[in-house]
Structure 1
């Protein structure tokens, strides 16, 4: 592209951004009045990686819950925390320089920091079965965890407890993983830049990919609770996010930000956070799995705008079970993990069901 054509291209691009920002600043929808129909396969999930089980506890008294990923035979794990408002447990243990090499479960929970209590129930379940890090005659289950904020829905004195984590383990299985308003996704919401009045219900989603005829499987599970909007990366169109005043279209949070919305004010409260797990049946060490967790965040960045903000505690764990008995290029697996994570994000939107005051993607079609 020569300089003249590049200038025209840049002018067209910035003009489009400016037009979008003007529309958003006037309360109009920068995207279509309705979300596009998502063509996302309904099959595939985290448990397509052999050796993993997933169980949910969903609280009936208000929208909250927790999700456990059991890897009872042990799995090498890594983590990457990109948001500035995280709530986590045992993430320092996953640093590649530290001693313990395997984990026995990962917990994703609602309830903000209170929800970390649920990991105690997961430990109890594993200890009762003799599963954990062996130290003499003792066993210590290793259960890293991350939480999201959902205390704004219903009675904030209700959150996932140790008993909730235990119950999630009791129903954990290797089959099809329930999605939507379940487990850690029960209280998930997106599009909160302008408050809950214009936000939308999100949920939990899962996806997987079989890599050609290699036998390699890469899978993901995620609870999407972002302050930002969710877009379809293939089209660039918003599928869930902050709604216009009539509730039928989308404001486009990034367009409002580019137009100057709140850029001189402190960030919104840290009442958000997207948390998830990617997994593979390949054998990797902790440093390699940590890199895969880092790269999986690209899947969030393709779908969520803005993402990794001071108001989010976005955290992704990565697991390598080694069940396939082969090694692979961890950079390529990380690239695939990003794709699978993006698909899981869209599945979370597609599977979500609206609740009073918070419509879902399905409700806007």
Structure 2
């Protein structure tokens, strides 16, 4: 009998994967924050970096050829390279809870991390030099649970924006999104902080939901079409964008198989962001396999599920984003633009 694919109307979340928890920390004095995905019992980890300007930590350890098999947390953060400091707080929390990589001299928490560039998104009255730090990472761990996580302007997606090729004054608000897909005994969930230079569109209809706006700010421009017509835009600095995220599954995978899951998850970004994986983005996706389902993994199916969950989580980030006034202009939400 064929398995039926289940995609919840409420799109679900990575916490639908047994063994994973999510915690957000959002600053109240600056629109930035961080998000942690905890795997207290450990998860086989991998990563795939497709953007040309990533900001990451501990990604080399996730290479299938390298030593560490399991990790216990992945951190996503705003604040550009400054935000990598938040991983130290995640390490401290894990250390206090005696969680980490076993050595003869104690446990060493391994915390892979990726950051996005949200420094231009400053509201009037914000304190610009505030960025996620070790205290923020620790607080995200304290907030972590297996309950439905918040979406939109929270955590690593708090200061996210999209459609920036023609300047921040014509961009829109991005955010944090979630989704999960179930087939048979397997579940794949995704958590995405969408901060792309390109537009976000619904793959099922081709409709652009958020992105660069026309010069009068009233309509969506269609970045890809504009580029193909010879409009080069203002070309933001490399690394000033980036969509980062985590896909998780209950399947039992090796590191090499988890790497394949992360690779395939990027297909979901390519379906929902146009253009994706540019020289101006640092697109990075992690994969975590909690190995709680013992049935032999159908890797072909799991990779399809990963791409689907990633695309849905990207759309969820846009649907839940709220417009904000910044010192560089107003960033409207997709809802405000009629999407």
TM-score by length of 1: 0.86
Matching residue of 1:89: 57
Q: Which one has a larger percent strand, Structure 1 or Structure 2? A: 2
Q: Which one has a larger percent helix, Structure 1 or Structure 2? A: 1
1:259-270 equivalent positions in 2, closer than 5 A: 259-262=229-232, 268-270=237-239
Deviations 1:254-289 (A, max 9, x none): 1111011229x9774421000000010000000000
The higher radius of gyration belongs to 1
Q: Which range is displaced more, 147-156 or 274-283?
A: 147-156
The answer to whether residue 71 in structure 2 is matched with residue 115 in structure 1 is no
Q: Report the CA distance shift for 1:174/1:40 in structure 2 as closer, same or farther (over 3 A).
A: closer
Aligned-residue offset at 1:157: 1.3
Matching residue of 1:299: 268
Instruction: Quote the Cα distance in structure 2 between the aligned partners of 1:325 and 1:122.
Output: 29
Deviations 1:135-194 (A, max 9, x none): 114110111000000011224411100000000000100010110000000000000010
Matching residue of 2:203: 233
Matching residue of 1:342: 311
The answer to whether residue 281 in structure 2 is matched with residue 312 in structure 1 is yes
> Which SS does the other structure have where 1:159 is aligned?
coil
Q: What are the ranges of 5 or more consecutive residues in structure 1 without an aligned counterpart?
A: 1-38
Q: 1:185–1:224: 8 Å Cα contact kept in structure 2?
A: yes
Match of 1:179 among 146, 151, 158: 151
Aligned-residue offset at 1:40: 8.2
Instruction: Quote the Cα distance in structure 2 between the aligned partners of 1:266 and 1:165.
Output: 32
Deviations 1:209-268 (A, max 9, x none): 111xx22111000000000000111111110001113322111111111011229x9774
Count of aligned pairs between the two proteins? 324
Instruction: Quote the Cα distance in structure 2 between the aligned partners of 1:194 and 1:216.
Output: 42
Q: 2:12–2:178: 8 Å Cα contact kept in structure 1?
A: yes
Matching residue of 2:3: none
Q: What are the ranges of 5 or more consecutive residues in structure 2 without an aligned counterpart?
A: 1-6
Deviating runs (4+, > 3 A) in structure 1?
A: 265-269
Matching residue of 1:202: 174
1:266-281 equivalent positions in 2, closer than 5 A: 268-281=237-250
